[in-house]
Chains A and B, each alone.
Chain A
Amino acid sequence: EADIYQTPRYLVIGTGKKITLECSQTMGHDKMYWYQQDPGMELHLIHYSYGVNSTEKGDLSSESTVSRIRTEHFPLTLESARPSHTSQYLCASIGLGAGYNEQFFGPGTRLTVL
């Protein structure tokens, strides 16, 4: 079944730890996105990729980094987590030829940094 997966779903870690949030999709989509979502707030785009070896920063400045080595995989890394990174992170993708820019979303990772 075609889908978009995020792991872990919940993560509680201490300050200074390095973490990687995983996002994978089985739909063969070329465009992928990372959003940061705080409670009661809109989604803010922090990174996007339009294909392998292509990554760009989004509208919201973020200390995280991303990579796109394989079409299906778009991991997000925080080298040194801080309490200000506490948030929900959502991954999304759009298919080539899907039209209309409809984005499919993963279930999200809720990150808490102590």
Chain B
Amino acid sequence: AQSVTQLGSHVSVSEGALVLLRCNYSSSVPPYLFWYVQYPNQGLQLLLKYTSAATLVKGINGFEAEFKKSETSFHLTKPSAHMSDAAEYFCAVSGSGAGSYQLTFGKGTKLSVIP
């Protein structure tokens, strides 16, 4: 069984400030981990993914995330927030074994960027 916990349903940062969105997971098998972004009235777009190749993963739009097995965490960061980063962000986990084709999503974190 897998689960994802995203701490903070709503995060506000000032433009230019550090963005930190937290994600903790539980998985009975080595996981694949994902961050998706959703803009209003749109579907989900993949930001980045962890697939066991490297613990620090770089994604699109300047975002990155670090896989920490000991902390079962996969927090998303961006050094400097931009107004266009305002959106909802979802962390997701799947198993890495054969047949593990389903994702379990967190409840999402809405990011607001203050000018």
Contacts and interface: CB of A to CB of B under 8 A. Distances in A.
B45 to A, nearest CB: 7
B32 A40 contact: no
A107 B38 CA distance: 10
A45 B67 CA distance: 25
A4 B44 CA distance: 12
B108 A103 contact: no
Given A41-B107, A100-B32, A100-B49, A106 B43 contact: yes
Nearest to A48: B102
A40 B107 contact: yes
B61 to A, nearest CB: 17
A42 B103 contact: no
B3 to A, nearest CB: 10
Interface in A11-25: none
Contacts of B45: 105
Contacts of A42: 4, 90, 105-108
B105 A43 contact: yes
B100 A40 contact: no
B24 interface: no
Nearest to A104: B46
Nearest to A33: B102
Interface in B30-85: 32, 34, 36, 41-46, 49, 51
A33 B103 CA distance: 10
Interface string A58-96: 000000000000000000000000000000001010100
A31 B102 CA distance: 10
B9 A40 contact: yes
Contact of B41 (A45, A48, A50, A110): A110
Contacts of A1: none
Contact of B46 (A9, A45, A48, A102): A102
B34 A102 contact: yes
B32 to A, nearest CB: 5
